[in-house]
Structure 1
């Protein structure tokens, strides 16, 4: 037997020990997420598409900005397929996720993102995306699954991005330098500049921003301050400031730059806000600075004849409004200050028109043309234009002949308004008299010849033969004034009328003596010119950029931006100092102890996965608090697009419901409640059923279950369009801090339960007053006397329409039955059968909270809900089954409120109640009648219950009295 066992190998103990030494322990390292290296534009694009975190986004933006100045093959601002993909990704993925975070704390990264979008392709991408979002926003066929706030937020974000990109006044200059600096052919540069002009100057950006302003204003009435990009006047003024900066930057020998600027000006003149544009672009020239004059004339020479005329007329209007005083009709306007201003205007107009014949003709057309350009301008404006034209005698004679022809035309006399002929702004007659004076001093023989011609004779004759007294008076004035200039004293034409001898006639005849002299353009400088301090100009530029920010950052009513003390720096010293951007402020630098400065501060989550991680991280206080405070806003914003919220909705809801207050955070319950409401609003049908299951199942406390009911009630009202009324209830004022101390729980429990019950109690109390007040008013009206003795007041139709509220779209009606109401009522019976009468859900606190929630959901669904009959039947049976629990005051009050809501919401269809619910109606009336008799008054609680019972009885008796015959059979059986 021993031979059967053969030893294969023999080893000693020492050998075994040495073999164990062959097992060498290996050090283990915690696996860290690899850092994505961004060394090329392809890496940056891949990083941007992969939902980057904050650090990765910062590195990608820095890499993209380095391509602009380092002469690389790729340039983010150079048109191409790769740059287009990157810009598309930035607009569609990065901006919706990160813009609010960057606006709040990422100043430098925000500037990097804006630089990447400050190009022709960037502006085009923003405009296209904004147009698409507006189309989706206005699509009425799409069901409203999210609130108006979450639907409009992407549009508001893009408007804010557009404002920030366009905020700087060197925008046009930077775009031209980027186009000119790219390695493109001349034709490609021209196409890029034309595309830029089509977007910015031709009104595409303005039109889409205006449409966004109107759409947002219609959907959200709380938006009072619209985007300046959509305001034509502000947008044109911004374009003018940008053009002024570009004109200063373009050198005199830069032919391509001047040509591009003139093309841009030609497009901008078609925008429709010419005066605002010209006043901002040529403000220095209009205020007496002669340095931009040559640039202005060069730009005008490249414009078409029609555009030159538009530009010239705008200059005249601005000069008239800005420098020429508005004098009365008969006041002496020959004071020294006025003549100096008129002389400055004459000098500037002469300098602009120069030796261009078309501009001379335009001045004649402005004075005596049928287009009525001179109507509405002050008298001194006509004096200045005529003085500017007086240096060209042939144009004066031409204007005089044309004016006389128009003055004596019969159709013109009969049909043209008196305002154009004379009026309080003197136009035709006054211009003729002043032109006659200049013509007489320049060439009296011509005026004598003209006074003997048929043009003059027909003009005066037709005027004297007119039926209008004012027309005849003007004819007498012109005839007398011309006769005084060309005829001897004994042969002058005279009219012995009172009108010709009063101050009116004397003033008109004195117009032939007006002779304004040529002044200097420098005379237009204001008396108190602002100091030309570079620091002051820089401060002004910074404040203007601040004022262009989004309306979301202007929450306070105060308009004070900043108060700065600017040191006096000489111009020579300021020129040597380079300008740097202001660094981001770091409040942690102010700490006295540098060892407690926290540099690695958490950033707000921009993805749902980051939000979930932050809510679960109860060890990092700052990260957890930041995630909880931004949860509601992030969920609502993400619910408008993408599948992040829908993929993680149940996990989010589970975390928020079971979230405990490890640290004493301020407004912890409010932030948690707002987050749960946002989760519910994102997918009402699915999450309504989930919250209903959670209320009955799961290991949750009473406070957490009460918060679930609060979420269902407030979420249902928000879907019904009543969210603005309940917004304050989820804030700090929801708790009743002003209640008597003996009626409050201990502080430790009060913080948990007070918020859960307060919103529902406040809404139910408000609805009680709303439902009972009409009944009380009707009862008071019956006891106030016969109707024949009452005085009724009638409101106008406009007043009635003004008070009438606009219909609110009710998205709750589509999902209320399957998503909210039936899951709560159906699971109540199942839970009661499974756990008996002594379960947690039958406690007075939760039971009263459940009844109020169901009542609020039923009321918010509206009277037109298709499932209202079925909900009424099931809810009535549930309420009648809970009558034995009415011994507790809280449950009794909730029961009476539920009955009152049930009858009020069915008020428009009382016949159906009498036909289908006769037995329930009579049982309710009998039970409430007994409650009204048992409950005594005297206390606040008793009076409240009696008031509710009285309201229910009134509603029941209305139906019973109205349909008494129909109810007679059921009444016999009931008795």
Structure 2
């Protein structure tokens, strides 16, 4: 391709080409169109682009950035003809390796194409190429230029959209010279919103990216990847553009357009992320003007304002309040006051937003389900400034707290949150309007609330009723008239904390302490470095320090006495020094971390293979060793867990998944009260892939079993300090003299974990559950009709259960051994911090309007794994836990939910998980079937009918191994359930009639 030296007139240059005859003189834009259509030279192209890139402030002059028929034709030629032919050359000649300046040839092209018309043309061209590629999927010979042109257009799209002022500049140039009330601006603004806020860019870029990857030419790929194809990165880019636009002192009309774009961004599936980005920069940043965020929020529709407000109420706990715990320190009160001040600024004087706060406190969403009490204290500090609203919160809370259906069916985390709201609001009402609280406690609603709570069969529900009753009675009544149930639970630390909430009074303060520094450039603007190649593994060598001076020692050569010193064997060779090239010998290999902060630093260094490997191999032992010594693990547990959950295997390490899981298990075992709830929240709220969410469930299930004594980790013994172990010689004496039943523990050992660790445990427990039934069927000449499957009896008779340390034995007895390695003293811990958060957040997700959340919980594989995890937790808690009735009711009703049973239709994996959960319920409640039939009679009968229909719809041995296993599970559930129903059917008659 030849270049022309010197500047030449574009009109003169066109004359050298074959140019059609014209009857009228052309304007410069028309001449430029003719030049572009007739394959111009490089210098002529640059001069033409320079002419087109000039801004025209008045509306009378032509501008390529304003929509018009002529600008559309020029843009079409640039996108379809100039870019495919010149893109590679333009990028090579641009400054700074592709990051073109505005004066370079590439910069001029991008300036011409940063317009609404140009982005539309790029998207239309991408759609055409996608359809053409799909049409050729059946042909054996494909056009190689399709993937190449697609890659070029994607690279062009990335460069055109680059920057955090792209949207505002496009609008400024498109509306230049137009009056504020011009009729042309409205359709133009609608087109802008349609392009950037509809998700069309994300979907087309993602689809085109897949097509471009099929080609062999990768030289045109964008340096930082096709970031518009990633919904997260595109949302971050759009949020940063909204922030920059709002910070540039826009007019009222531009603020309205910016607010509409914000509303569109909220619907792209990442509402929490874009809300946090906008709020952090417009409200919480140092020196920020809160009026900008308020102006942006004022122009949103009411439903979008509600969505933003609820997102804000999730962001503050995650970033500031959840680490405060019970909020008993002065620092906690100051931070709560700051958050209340920020909420007060967001709410302003808008009545609808105040009503949204009341709805959040008293609605079925749970007033911050799973969050700490700090966010509820901050919200109530804002609401309490108006007496009528705080009274409304109290009245609604009392009515809801005593509702029988609410007590029976609501998750316990939700009831605890509403109990805290009730106690806090009662304290505010008593201080502002004491007669109102007194009259409320004399009403029939209050008496019914306490009566219904005390009549509940759930111990936790009764406990909440008692602490609420004693707490409110202590405000109004004096002396002997105060309500006192004389229960040990209400006088312990937790009961006293609940009753002390009525004395809490928070104020609305300044939110300067929440100020955050300006964020780094978004991920879409960063160019990731190429990962270094994996270095060759080399053995470490201990370097002895060099001795100073001389040591003179008299040696007696005639002595033959053995001094007990064993000489070191002669080394065969030093591999590290055997390399011919001394530059390849590495002397700077990192040492294993000994502190948690060093471990975190190693995990963050993703560019070092050695540090990543050391961190992974050291984490399980180091975390367990530091768990009970100091506060390192407690202070950095959430940060360490987030690093492990999001860790990627970029170096293809051996046993990567196993080491990663063991590290997360170590964190949960070290801090079960905190990390059990953290991982439960991460599963539902985190921005992770399906495999990462599955690993979270595996960690929760295995950690619960280890805490209950069903599993022992090989890292637990390695993490013990030497002071906690006997010397080796003495240890051999004691261990050798130990009886066999102590040497051989019934608890299994956590070996390298396969990807389907929970599935393997579920199969083992299924065999254990069904073994007594199989033995009963084998003893009879012909077993019950329900067991007449082709291979059911044979499989269960041949099933081998292998506890750790015991030989494989076939179970022939009907009684199943129930031997535990250690006493299950952590049943309440599993119920409170593992089981309840998972079930409560699932119920909240069912009522969520976010399609992304529902897509997560109803993914077939995740749903099946989630149900198996809950069943394993119930089994780990065991029959002796005090919360067993509550756990049984929650899991049983969850399994019988319409949504879960609908997803079980046609999906054997989900059906098997539901049946396994039911079988675990029946096994753990084997000794209390009378209470189960009395309390959950309707659920038992409904389960019997549903499982019978599932059993009748399966083909057994003719449908494959998986279908046969599901039918065996259904048979086991039916047999167990029929036994209980037939034995206690008279107890169920009254409940079923009612």
Instruction: Please give the TM-score of this superposition, normalised by the length of structure 1.
Output: 0.49
Query: Greater share of helix residues, 1 or 2?
Result: 1
- The structure having more radius of gyration, on CA atoms, is 1
Instruction: Please give the TM-score of this superposition, normalised by the length of structure 2.
Output: 0.48
